[in-house]
Amino acid sequence: MMRHSALGLLRGGFEGHKRWPRAWRAPEPRSAYDVIIVGGGGHGLATAYYLAKVHNIRNVAVVEKGWIGGGNVGRNTTIVRSNYRLPESQALLELSLKLWEGLSDELNYNVMFSQRGALMLGHSDADMTKLAERGDALRCNGIDAELLSRAEVGRLIPLLDLSPKARFPVQGGLIQRRGGTARHDAVAWGYARAADALGVDVIQNCEVTGLTVRGARITGVSTTRGDIAAGRVGLCATGGSSRLAAMAGMRLPIECHNLQAFVSEPVKPMIDTVIMSQSIHCYISQSDKGEIVLGGDPDYYPTYAQRGMSMRIEDVAAQAISLVPALSRLRLLRAWAGTTDMSFDGSPIIGPAPVEDLFINAGWCYGGFKATPGSGWLYADLLATGRPHPVIAPFSLGRFEQGATIDEAGVGPMPHHR
Amino acid sequence: MESILPLDASTEAAVRRLYTRENPRGPSRELWRHAYGCRAWLNIQRDTATHAVLAVDLLDPPA
């Protein structure tokens, strides 16, 4: 791997950018690996990297049916934060946030992690009470949270509609200043490049068509590029979790839905924090390219189509314009969607599967991107030791049977929606 | 309640019935309701990858 540096960039510029080497190899799959990770998304690639870097387990393959980063790591709205409500979620995401904070240096690749703040607006007394409660819970667990007044929110986002005629009056907000955004594609590429440099085989265009189970143990996978034996197999493919689990005779508490996102044409900096809301399901940020990135409610029906209903475009546009009227003058450039693994309590499923040496990482609903480094680090720990780290122990597949659901939304054990 | 799950069902059966989903990528059987129209209940077969509607039946056809 060629180490990136400012000098290297300068030299590359003078050379007309003609001599950059491949960022990662395109190896043929070998006949066996110590660990096979199924799914070359953010989490899968991060897992491979930490297996090699932290545990010195380098005889690892990541098998990806398409191209790496073509799944949800390339389709999200780039928001990073750890300000969830429940202590289990907070521990998981805070571990992840701390890894985000050193990630570009760690990977020698600029993931453009910008800690511009993640702000949740409150529009009513009830909203502000809930935000204060969340803030208290975060502070009790050592995570930064600050309750902001209406005036403070207005200074942070000058273009927010704080007029008496505002459709969604703002009473204040809760901000996590260490939260922000990161360049999603760079995360996939950074981890792939770093893992490859440590000897991990990143194998694209390689779809898993079967899991080989002998007795009670998994011994390998069948793929479109041949059979590969494995010591351990980690499933890590959102949108494919149920299909893969079924290959080992398992059914998961997961239903795949759709989440859309949108970007506007690029404009000069106008919004320099991440705007979310306690009540409104639209969220707004501005990429470093200048595009306004918008998201909203999921499409609440089973689908793998990765495209959503036009009603959402209207909803999100209406909500965004109500919050920041200046957005009405922009043109929408792109709309796309990703398949979300919706779990029965809205929280991820990470842990051993009922088949020995098989492991599952799934069910991230619409909150997977922010957890990328943490999920990778913890899943690598699980694949290396065979035992769930205390931070992921609560997220076991067996929690539904035990009634120990991690119910972020506070609506009970049902397919998660707000 | 009994129509969803017998009260003396095993834990395994209960978890299977209440939590697990086949989650097919392809043809899927669904129950729809024409909420803004005639309010009829419909058995629909829909492809979850392409959104094509493959078959439609009234749940309770008129005699």
Helix axes A372-385 and A87-100, enclosed angle (nearest 10): 100
Share of chain B above pLDDT 70, in %: 95
- Inter-chain residue contact A305 with B16, CB threshold 8 Å: no
Chain B residue with Cα closest to A254: B21
pLDDT of residue A415: 62
Chain B: closest CA distance from residue A112 (Å): 34
Q: How many angstroms from the chain centroid is the CA of residue A47? A: 13
pLDDT at B1 over 70: no
Q: What is the pLDDT of residues B19-45, one digit of tens each?
A: 999 999 999 999 999 999 999 999 999
Q: Are B23 and B29 in contact (CB under 8 A)?
A: no
A396 close to B (CB below 8 A)? no
pLDDT of residue B61: 80
Closest by Cβ to A304, choosing from B21, B22, B49: B49
SS3 sequence of A82-137? CCCCCHHHHHHHHHHHHHHCCHHHHHCCCCCCECCCEEEEECCHHHHHHHHHHHHH
**Core vs surface per residue A3-21: b (16+ CB within 10 A) or e:** ebeeeeeeeeeeeeeeeee
Indicate the pTM of the whole model.
0.96
* CA-based radius of gyration for chain A: 21
Q: What is the pLDDT of residues A184-203, one digit of tens each?
A: 999 999 999 999 999 999 99
Q: Are A64 and A29 in contact (CB under 8 A)?
A: no
CA distance A79 to A366: 11
**Core vs surface per residue A360-376: b (16+ CB within 10 A) or e:** bbbbbbbbbbbbbbbbb
A255 close to B (CB below 8 A)? yes
pLDDT of residue A19: 85
CA distance A44 to A203: 12
pLDDT of residue A275: 98
Chain A residue numbers with beta carbons less than 8 Å from the beta carbon of B23 are 242, 252, 254-256, 302
- The SS3 assignment for A246 reads helix
Q: Are B46 and A305 in contact (CB under 8 A)?
A: no
CA distance A54 to A293: 34
Tens digit of pLDDT at every position of chain A (418 positions): 778 998 988 998 998 888 888 999 999 999 999 999 999 999 999 999 999 999 999 999 999 999 999 999 999 999 999 999 999 999 999 999 999 999 999 999 999 999 999 999 999 999 999 999 999 999 999 999 999 999 999 999 999 999 988 999 999 999 999 999 999 999 999 999 999 999 999 999 999 999 999 999 999 999 999 999 999 999 999 999 999 999 999 999 999 999 999 999 999 999 999 999 988 989 999 999 999 999 999 998 999 999 989 999 999 999 999 999 999 999 999 999 999 999 999 999 999 999 999 999 999 999 999 999 999 999 999 999 999 999 999 999 999 999 899 998 887 776 655 4
